[in-house]
Every structure is written in C-alpha cells, then in structure tokens.
Amino acid sequence: MDTGGPAVRTANVRTIVVWTLVALVAATGWAVLALARGENVSAAWMVAAALGSYAIAYRFYARFIAYKVLKVDRTRATPAERLDNGIDFHPTDRRVLLGHHFAAIAGAGPLVGPVLAAQMGYLPGTIWIIAGVVFAGAVQDMVVLFFSTRRDGRSLGQMAREEIGPFGGAAALLAAFAIMIILLGVLALVVVNALAQSPWGTFSIAMTVPIALLMGFYLRVLRPGRVAEVSLIGVGLLLLALVAGRWVAESSWAETFTLAPSTLVIWLVAYGFIASILPVWMLLAPRDYLSTFMKIGTIVLLALGVVLTLPTLRMPAVTDFASRGDGPVFAGSLFPFVFITIACGALSGFHALISSGTTPKMIQKETQVRMIGYGSMLMESSVAVMALIAASIIDPGLYFAMNAPAGVIGDTVQNASQVVSGWGYSISPEELAAAAKNVEEASLLSRTGGAPTLAVGVSEIFSQVTGDGLRAFWYHFAIMFEALFILTALDAGTRVGRFMLQDTLGNVYRPFKNISWKPGLVITSAIVCGLWGYFLWVGVHEPLGGINQLFPIFGISNQLLAAVALTVCTTLLVKSGRLKWAWITGVPLAWDATVTLTASYQKVFSSDPRVGFFEQRSVYQAGIDRGEVIAPAKSMDDMHTIVTNSTVDGVLSAVLALLIIVVIADAARVCVRHVRRPTLSTLSEAPYVESKIVAPAGLIPTQQEKEEEATARDAVGAGQGG
C-alpha cells in the first residue's frame, strides 16, 4: 500500500550547496553567540542561528520522524473526513488550519517568557529556545497530533486513560484539566491587563470577530476553496481595523471603547463561550487564520528590522544572576528556572491540548502533521527568539528597572537608578525619565510581566527603520499586538477545555462522548468558561486573589503538562511497535521531568522565601504574629491573603507533581509489560478507511501533488457534467 512517503531522491549539486550554506550560516551564528566575550555582538547573529537551525530541523529531523518513525499515510482518511459534521469535525484547508493551529498555540508564553529569562543573559535562553523546540517542543506537538488524528481526535487525557490505563489515565485527566483552567485564567488576565483602558486595542480586536465571520461564510458558502481571495480580503480589513483603532482612540468614540477590567472580563467570558459552541468553520478557524497574518507579519518585520539595523545585544551573554539565583525579575538558579520561565517558546504542554483538541478534528491528511505540528512550533519559537532579542537590545539598566518590583527599586527614578546601579547596570534618573517620555508613558518603572519590556524593544527596532518620531506609535502598537496574540489562544483553549471535559464526563455518561451533542457542548462550555471566568473575575477585583493566586505556578504547570504529553507519546510509540524510536520522545520526557520535578521540589521545600511557597508562608505568618506588614503586602488583610496563597500554591505544586509521577510510573509499567508480553496490549486506534480527499502535504504543492489535484478536479468536473 502506498502510504504517501516521499519519493527517494538523489540529492543534486544545487541541493547540497544550498543546505551546506544554510548549515554554515547557522554554525557561524552559534559560534559568534557562544564565543564572543567583551565585544559587541549583533542581534542578527541570533536570527541567523535560529533560522538556520529551524530550516535544517524541519527539512531533515521532522521529515525523518514523519515518514520513517510515524509512517504518515496519505491514503488514510482523517477524522475530519470520516466524521465531518460541520461543527467540530470539518476538513479544513491546510493553510487555514496552519493559521488556526499557530494562533491557538501562540499565547503569552513566547512573548513574555523569554523577556523575563533575559535576566540570566541572552545565551542560556537562546540555547534552550532553539534546541528545546527542535528536539522537544515541535516533536511533542507533531507526535501528539499524529496519534490523536489516528484516534478520532481524542483529547490528551482520554488518550492517556485508554492507552495507559484507568489509574494513570485518571491522574492524567485530572492534572490536564486542572492545569488547563489555570492556563486559561492566566491568558485571560494578560489580555485584560493589556486591553484595560486601551480603546485602540479594544476596537481593533473587536473588529476581528465580524471580519472572521465574513471570512468563514465566504469560504463555506460564497466561494468555497478560494483561500487566496479570502486571505486578501481578510488582511485588507484587518489593516483597516488596525488603522481605524488609532482613529477611534483619538476621537469622541474613545470613551465607548475604553473598558474597565471588570467589563472586559464579562466580554471575554461571553466570547469564549460563543467561540466554543459555534461551528469551527464559522468563527474560530477564520479568526485564528486572520490573526496569524498579523502575528507572523509583525515577527517577520521584526526580523527584517534586526537584519537592516543590526542592533547590538546589550545584555551580557550570561549575567551574575545566573549563578547567584537572586535575580530581581524572578528568584531561583539558572537550572531549573530559566527553562520553566521560557516555557512555551521551547516546550509547552498547552500545545499538546491543541494538538489533541481542535486541530486533529480539522486536518485533511496525515501527511500534513509535519507542517502543522512541527512547523507551527518552529514559528512560535521564532517569536520567542524575537522577544529575547527585543529584551536584550535595550539598556540593561532600563530592563531591570522595568522588571524589578516596586518594593525592590522604589517608586522614583532616583531610587530605581541607585538600586539598579548597585546591581552593576548603571542608568541615570534622566535616562529612565526619557525612556518613558519617548513612548508617551508617565513611567516605565516596575512594569513587570514582560509585555511592556517587549513593547519597548519592538519600538526600538522599528523606530530605527521608520524614524524616532514613531517610537511611541510602535510601543502602543506592540501592546495591542500582544493582546491580539494572546486572545487567540484563549478561544481555542476554551474549546479544547470543553473537549477534555466531555471526554471525561463521557466515561460516566456516554452521550457526552459525542462531542458535537448539543446539550453536552453547551453544558461543558458553560462549566469551562465559568471556572476560568471565576478565577479571572476574582483576580481582577483582588490584586492578590483569584487567578493571581495561581499565577506563580503557571510555568511549572505548563511544563508538567508537557511531561504528560511526552509520556503518552512514548507509551504509544512503544505499544504501536516503534520501540526502537521511543527515544525520540523519551529523551525529551526525561529532561522535562527532571527539570520540572526539580523546580516543583524547590518551590515546595526551598528555604529561600522568594522560591519556596511554604517558607514564604512561614515568613508572612511570623509577620502576622508580630503585627508587622511585609512588602508587597500593604495591610494585614494582604498578609493573610499571601499566607493563604502560598499555602494553596505549595499544596497544588506538590499534588500536580505527584500526579505526574503517577502518570509516568504507570506508563513505564505499561511499556515494560508490552515489551515482555505484547499480546496483552491493546490500541484504541480507529480502523483504516481509505481517503477520498486530495490535498498537498506542505504549503507549496509538489509537481506530483499538483498533478493529483488536477486529476481530482477533472474527475469532479466529469462527474458533474455526466
């Protein structure tokens, strides 16, 4: 049977020369970044190292995994084709699906994680972002997508239950759903913080909804299959919405689109609910596809700006905080916390939920898992690289003044200048004031979270191309861009949360197994939105409550979820007769489990109150006993809240870590049993059905694929004519 593997080709001289040049560019970039000390290093070398590495990994490693290890089969019908119902299962053009998948996985992590990790210097982050995505993150996303596609689009937790067993599977289901709610709440909080009091951002993002609806009906009803046409229409309307957003912000309509945080919470919950229950072709897929143009367009322009202006990396390759572990941005040593902080740009458990959520129910051909699974993750990693560059080209003194909490640097430029200078990064009060004035902000001190720092870096790059007079424009554009970037992960994540809950409840009440059963999808969507909406509402109204309480375990939770995904992948490789290739996910699993469980242990048991939750609880409880208020608390009520939060975070960290250990241990038992007695193992893979869809594997069809598409069109035309 022809499984659609690539034809065996002999490399010609041109191919050899091209890939040799790519390898040389990447190697030169790595050599300059790693060996340069005490001299100016251009950010362009980071771009060269990243893009060269991505190209080689996609062309060779991803191709090897797809065709040699997974043996993707172009003749096999996917769930989108077999179960097409126009609601959740719907064969979607690979270009639209690539946009949806990338937009869904690319949330806050690749934007802010690398910015915060710059505290350790640019080199550790660069190494992990690029090596991590090549060997771990992109592999996880592609392999999960493949196995979920073979199982009717089953969710990650349900695959764990079916393939590992009820005990480890139950632990995986519980951990995955709990972590999902935490991730959605954190993503929503970032969006609220970015859009609050921002009429430009609110208007522009609101306009993407009717534009997406138009695109969805255009492709479904008016002009089916005309992706190029709808892309031009959508991009034109999106650019108009972006420009109009600034007009609105400067007009009498500004007050209408200036929303309070609590109002934004209501709108976000309502949007998440509606996007979760509407047919996927109507709003979710076209909106994500539309936003991808802005996301990728901005990142490409940033890369071009770096190449044109050649900004210098002003942050040291490795800072003193990397070895001391007492950084003001986040506490803890380089290992394991730089890996936890970077998270999504290299490896993300959230991605596995999308790869086993919406995407496997929409993919046309198995052969597309390489482009959509591996390729999308490389795109996200490039976002992380650009975020790290943006943080590393600004003055280090400004970086630390923006990312250190007010309780450390004070609330005046004089205090901040003095404290930051004590860390070895001198910046004058006048320079701090000028930096804020340049972007039309009252102050940039303690603008923590990473997003404002990224915006400053983006404005630095773009203003060097367009002129310094537009620096403030680019800063506020970047803030709005970040909100749009993150919102697309929220709507897809809510839908995936609904799938996970339906799979779980389906084990108790079978009608929930049908994820398009309308009563079930409405009930579960309402529950998911209600859960993350509650944490968000409380977090907006109480600075130390709600989702703010869970924010400190965001990174660890995400990486623990990646351990679940890699465990499921490794188990499935073993059980499906691919034991000799189990190292492909087994090695990343061993690394991720080591890093994340080490971090969990330190967060629970560390004697440093800035790291260990229970030690922090002891310090603040002692303060309460003495009647003393300790920063950042401002009152005795805050002191009690911090004690509660530390307790909850410590307990949750321990519970989640134990659940992951249970999953890994149970999976190891299943794998050992399979190796010893393969006949005892069962696979829940769907039966083979021959595919009738003809579609290319990549963005650009090969000559053979063009001929197959032409033959298919002729056959359809002949059938209609007859």
Mean pLDDT by 10 residues, the chain (722 residues): 53 88 96 86 96 97 97 96 92 92 85 92 96 98 98 92 87 86 86 80 87 89 84 87 86 89 93 91 85 84 93 94 89 92 91 93 97 96 94 95 89 94 93 92 85 90 91 84 76 88 86 87 94 91 79 88 96 96 98 96 93 94 94 87 92 93 95 93 92 92 85 67 49
Picking from 119, 477, 166, the residue whose alpha carbon sits closest to that of residue 330 is 119
Cβ burial, residue 393 (10 Å; 0-12/13-18/19+)? buried
pLDDT the model gives residue 483: 73
Which pLDDT value is given to residue 10? 56
- pLDDT value for 722: 46
Q: Give me the percent of the chain exceeding a pLDDT of 70.
A: 97
The reported pLDDT for the residue numbered 6 is 58
Class of residue 634 by CB neighbours under 10 A (exposed 0-12, middle 13-18, buried 19+): exposed
Q: What are phi and psi of 683, to 5 degrees?
A: -115, 140
For the CA atoms of 536, 542, 545, 546, what is the dihedral angle to 10 degrees? -10
| The pLDDT value given to residue 8 | 47
Q: Which residues contact 279 (CB under 8 A, 6 or more apart)?
A: 86, 87, 88, 90
Task: At 312, give phi and psi (nearest 5°).
Answer: -90, 140
pLDDT of residue 11: 65
* pLDDT value of position 172: 86
163-178: burial string, b at 16+ Cβ within 10 Å, e else = bbeeebbbbbbbbbbb
| Per-residue pLDDT, 5 | 56
Dig out the tokens for 685 from the structure.
């893979």
CA distance 346 to 342: 7
Give the SS3 label for residue 76.
strand
